[in-house]
Chains A and B, each alone.
Chain A
Amino acid sequence: MVEHFLPTTLTETLDILDTNKVEIIAGGTDLMVQRRTWANTLPKFDQTINIIHVKELNFIRQEGSKLHIGATTSYTTLLQHPDVPQLLKDCISVLASPALRNIATIAGNIGNASPAGDTLPILYLYDAIIELSSKHRVRYVPIQDVIVGPRKTTIEYNELITSIILPLHDFSTVRFDKVGGRKADAISKISMAAAARIEDGVIEDIRFAFGAVGPIIVRDTGIEEELLGRTIEDIPDVLPTILSSIASRITPIDDQRSNKNYRSNVALNLLQDFLLTL
């Protein structure tokens, strides 16, 4: 018999996941599009578990130097919370539309694992840790080990993303650039999250991550290390190496939104602009 579950507690949720083959719905803003049929006909689901009513998963908590974001926390809630880093807020404010932001979640962005997922470059940049819970254990997995390909994650059949943990950093500059088909309500053709901490003209920390230029988010800490300890004046000299290293790491495609050449060129232009305006 087909069942759709509507739990209200985490314990209930993990029990159900352990013994039923179900798809997890929170905001539903990706899944409900993917499974749509026609007017007045049910979307194509086998069994589902809708976790939107599990209040324990709706939270934002700062614990020491880490920010914990519950799985069902909406983008709008994040946008209005004082402890959420500016870079993440900058991203959310150009993501989707107000009505979608009112219910969509970062956990959904991760679970959907689209190469164009807008919050993902930020999660990679912050070295986010994803808390995956099942009935019998809790795992903490770095974001880059959760998403392994387009629409492919290592989340196990009985696991649920319960929170996203962001180690907080003091950056002196942050930037999120999204290039979409229009200025709102658009899927990214290419996106870049970048952040740096410059002290007395010296680069103490620098990070950049790209979305929609490959099957997964592109971030190469090896390339970032080339810049650590250098001064701002050094940047023009080392820039060509940085750009060609990034160029070899990105593998954009042609699709209905854009093409490889555009995505490559613009990714490099955005990085260059970030580095030269530090």
Chain B
Amino acid sequence: MSNITFTLNHNVVTIDIDPTKRLLDVLRNDFHLTGSKEGCGEGECGACAILLNGKAINSCLLPVGSVQGQDVVTIEGLSQSRQGQALSDAYRDEGAVQCGICTPGMLIASHALLLENPHPTDDEIRIGLSGNLCRCTGYNMIVKAVKKASEDGEGLW
């Protein structure tokens, strides 16, 4: 067991834990932040995505030891921000949510994309979301939502 201290949704936290425990499990079971989903546990589907130092990472593959001293933002943290609100509003308006299981990861990936590239083309949006699988929506409305957020959210990213 090791003491792992990191910033979680803007608060400094410390946990005594096996450093190989998957961050996804630590978030869901130790911190009760169940927004990140285990869609596959293999790093394929992106439903577990969080932001590590502003970059999207699949938390099902991240040993919690890797976040020592780092900055982690989950979907819960993103939703509280103005950027998260802008994205959620756009997703709602464009019909980008059906069952919702991919949505937390999609929002994280969308935000990570806009942080790097505030005015992406449709192709760039698709590439940015290419690691997030969705079975319900066929992706088109999600792509439109990210485009809308980038247009309506001038200055947010």
Physical contact A–B (CB less than 8 Å) = yes
Q: A98-B109, A98-B112 are in contact. Are A4 and B42 (CB under 8 A)?
A: no
Residues in B neighbouring A28, C-beta threshold 8 A: 61-63, 66
Mask for B104-144, Cβ within 8 A of A = 1, else 0? 00000100110000000000000110111100000000000
Query: Interface SS of chain B: helix, strand, loop or mixed?
Result: mixed
Query: Interface SS of chain A: helix, strand, loop or mixed?
Result: loop
Within the complex, the shortest CB–CB distance from B75 to chain A, in Å, comes to 14
Contact B65 A4 (CB under 8 A): yes
Contact B20 A53 (CB under 8 A): no
Residues in B neighbouring A50, C-beta threshold 8 A: 19, 63, 65-66
| Number of residues of chain B lying within 8 A (CB) of chain A | 38
Residues in A neighbouring B60, C-beta threshold 8 A: 32
Contact B130 A25 (CB under 8 A): no
- Which single member of A4, A33, A52, A96 contacts B20 (CB below 8 Å)? A4
Contact B66 A102 (CB under 8 A): no
Contact A99 B56 (CB under 8 A): yes
Q: A28-B63, A99-B58 are in contact. Are A33 and B43 (CB under 8 A)?
A: yes
Contact A76 B55 (CB under 8 A): yes
Q: A98-B127, A98-B130, A185-B131 are in contact. Are A29 and B19 (CB under 8 A)?
A: no
**B81 at the A interface (CB under 8 A):** no
Measured in the bound complex, the distance between the Cα atoms of B66 and A120 in whole Å is 25
Within the complex, the shortest CB–CB distance from B53 to chain A, in Å, comes to 9
Mask for A6-36, Cβ within 8 A of B = 1, else 0? 1000000000000000000100110011001
Residues in A neighbouring B127, C-beta threshold 8 A: 98, 184
Contact residues, B27-80 vs A (CB, 8 A): 28-29, 38, 41-44, 46, 49, 52, 55-58, 60-63, 65-66, 68-69
Contact A99 B57 (CB under 8 A): yes
A interface residues (Cβ-Cβ under 8 A, vs B): 4, 6, 25, 28-29, 32-33, 36, 39-43, 45, 48, 50, 52-53, 76, 96-100, 102-103, 183-185
Contacts A42-B21, A52-B65, A99-B49 aside, 15 further interface pairs with beta carbons under 8 A come to A4-B2, A4-B18, A6-B19, A25-B20, A29-B61, A32-B63, A33-B61, A40-B25, A42-B18, A45-B20, A52-B66, A96-B131, A98-B127, A185-B44, A185-B131
